[in-house]
Amino acid sequence: MNQPKSGAPCVEALLDLYAHDAVLESPLVSHLCGKETGICSGHEELRPFFEMLRERKPPVRQHYRTNYFTDGKTMIWEYPRETPKGEQMDFVEAMEINDDGLIQRHNVYWGWFGVGVLQRDEYRKEDKSRGEKSQKEKRDEKQSKEIAGYTYGTSEVGKSPVSLKELEELKQTVTLTEEDVHQLRLAGGVLEGQTGAIVDTWREVIGKTPHLAYYFTDPHGKPDENYKASVKERFKQWVLDVCRRPYNQDWLDYQHEIGLRHTHLKKNVTEKAETPPYIPLRYLLAFTAVINDTIKPFLAKRGSTPEEVEAMHRAWCKAVILHVTLWTRPYVAESEW
């Protein structure tokens, strides 16, 4: 994207160039945002994407070009790999301009040099002297490490016995579409900052239901507060993971890990606790109703229209059913699952 030479652009000023329902397509969207598609639609999705661009723009992302072509409604130009000062990330960009003079559609087509930057995960701003990570990356990494037992994407997590092909078939079974994935990304923005209250709502239901509260107690029948606190932090993160994580092998493996931590195989292992050794499958399945029913008021708290809330809620419900279905795998014999 063409940024002012003076430095990183103001995100709001950049957004002002785009129609409110503008669409941007680029492989970088999928890479930075964790989306299965490389599409951002509307200001609500463009804003966080532009903020990530500002945070991460690497030195090799330059803006040398010689000319452009336009018929008054469409603009096309190239950022060639070779420049007078060396190599830069190579793109061809195309923009459609609406009747108000705003960008209605923006497509970015990548060359081999730019694709290589993504493949090596080098699209990041570095300290010129020490090659340090950006402040945002440091914060995200620090927060992830501070969640005890949160091992997503690490070597501590074993491979799921469920194949990616079976995952795709499950996604089809719950009718999870690309539009649902888009709605989940929107939901993530709405739910961020509310995760503690969301988990507290679930805990309130559990606390009022003795046969559920039992599974959070120590051998003396008292609530194990350390166990509860540790598990809470991971489920706060899970709320965001439902909305933002791509459905890849790491995601699939971690769903199996979560399932294991509800069974006698791994419950209590992470916290070295002495709560009851497993959570019955019947309660794991039944509590899905609570998780899906209670999320809707939180989706409505940021000014979304009833139609927008409904779309996000529908996607959330499908995603949660997909998660919980995968959690059941450690409970069930392979021949029956």
Does residue 4 form part of some domain?
no
Identify the pLDDT of residue 8. Answer: 42
Q: Is 231 in the same domain as 314?
A: yes
Scan for tokens 């016995």, then name that residue: 161
**Contact indicator for 323, 171 with CB cutoff of 8 Å:** no
Q: Does residue 275 lie in a domain region?
A: yes
What gap in Å lies between CA 75 and CA 251, rounded to an integer?
39
Q: Write the pLDDT tens digit of every residue in 219-262.
A: 999 999 999 999 999 999 999 999 999 899 999 999 999 999 99
**Residue 278 included in any domain:** yes
- By the 8 A CB rule, do 327 and 262 touch? yes
Identify whether residues 243 and 310 lie together within a single domain. yes
- Tokens for 323? 């998660």
Query: Per the structure block, which two tokens stand in for 268?
Result: 């209590």
Nearest to 314 by CA among 203, 175, 210, 130: 175
Determine, yes or no, domain membership for 157.
yes
Query: Is 284 in the same domain as 212?
Result: yes
Mean of the per-residue pLDDT values for the chain?
89
List pLDDT tens digits, range 170-184.
999 999 998 899 899
Is the distance from CB of 116 to CB of 94 less than 8 angstroms? no
Q: 165 lies in a domain?
A: yes
> Quick check: is 128 in a domain?
no
Q: Which residues, including other chains, have CB under 8 Å from residue 158's CB and lie 6 or more apart?
A: 253, 256, 257
Q: Is residue 296 located within the same domain as residue 152?
A: yes
Strand 18-25 with 39-41, pairing: antiparallel
Most confident listed range (31-40, 116-125, 323-332): 323-332
The structure tokens 């933002």 sit at 244
pLDDT in tens, 108-159: 999 998 888 887 777 876 544 334 444 444 555 556 568 999 999 999 999 9
- Please tell me whether residues 157 and 199 are part of one structural domain: yes
Whole-number pLDDT of residue 145 = 62
| Distance from C-alpha of 196 to C-alpha of 235, rounded to nearest angstrom | 9
pLDDT band at 51 (very low <50, low <70, confident <90, very high): confident
Is the residue at 133 inside a domain?
no
CATH number at residue 72: 3.10.450.50
DSSP-derived secondary structure for 152-179 = TTSTTSPPPSS-HHHHHHHHHHTT--HH
Q: What is the pLDDT of residue 6?
A: 37
Last residue of a domain, one of 80, 99, 119: 119
Any domain includes 226: yes
| Number of separate domains in the chain | 2
Q: How far is CA 125 from the centre of its chain?
A: 21
Q: Quickly count helices (H) and strands (E) in the chain.
A: 14, 8
> Do 196 and 281 sit in the same domain of this protein?
yes
Does one domain contain both 95 and 158? no
Q: Which domain holds residue 93?
A: 11-119
